[in-house]
Amino acid sequence: MIPIMETISKQKAIHILIQKNISLLDISTAQKIFSFKKENSLYKFLQRLERADILKRIVKGKYLFSFKEINDYEIANFLTTPSYVSLESALSFYGILAQFPYTITSVTTTKTRKIIYNEKEFEFAHLRRENFFGFVKKDNFLIAQPEKALLDELYFISKGLISISLNELNLSLINKNKLLKMMQYYKFLPLENMVKKYVK
């Protein structure tokens, strides 16, 4: 009997990925779209696609389809779930921070971590579940709203975990009323004091 891994050609795999509009996939997704019953056969098949440069492994069990252009923010969302792009990356995205940070910054309810892929750093800062809100979907990724990105930034600054020159921020783009409403959910006095000081 021909092993199942040999019944799908590389060309067929490419066709399936394009047809299903797959840019990023994990083991679970690969199992579904390629219909493999045996996990061992699936892993061997994925290794074949890697060797053929059809897939690129980002981290263990997570892959990128080489034939599609993928935004770094999409990769960030995919690397750690749940997460959304925030802090300096989101502030730069909205033009609040003029410079574009080298590191892609996100927040997550899971542990703080850093992942390096393709010579780029992806940082994930831990945020309490009750503060995990205020994000929207842009294209194919989740990103903090401008006010939430600023609050996340000020929150971590007030805890002494990150530092940034607040003079570099264009706060005229921030809706102050929306910011103050969101701030109440943090229930963190140092953050409230910082907002009062810097957001006029």
Q: Give the predicted TM-score (pTM) of the model.
A: 0.91
Domains and CATH numbers, the chain: 4-65 (1.10.10), 72-198 (no CATH)
Instruction: Measure the N-to-C terminal CA separation of the chain; round to a whole number of Å.
Output: 73
Burial 105-134 (b: 16+ CB within 10 A, else e): bbbbbeeeeebebeeeebbbbebeeebbeb
Q: What is the structure's pLDDT at 37?
A: 85
Q: What is the DSSP string of 97-136?
A: BSSPPSSEEEEESS--EEEEETTEEEEEEE--GGG---EE
Rg (the chain; Cα; Å): 20
pLDDT tens track, the chain, 200 positions = 334 444 689 999 999 999 999 999 999 999 999 999 888 999 999 999 999 999 999 999 999 999 999 999 999 999 999 999 999 999 999 999 998 889 999 999 999 999 999 999 999 999 999 999 999 999 999 999 999 999 999 999 999 888 888 888 999 999 999 999 999 999 999 999 999 988 87
Cis peptide upstream of residue 82 (ω within 30 degrees of 0): yes
Query: Residue 4's pLDDT is what?
Result: 42
Please report the pLDDT score of residue 1 as a whole number: 33
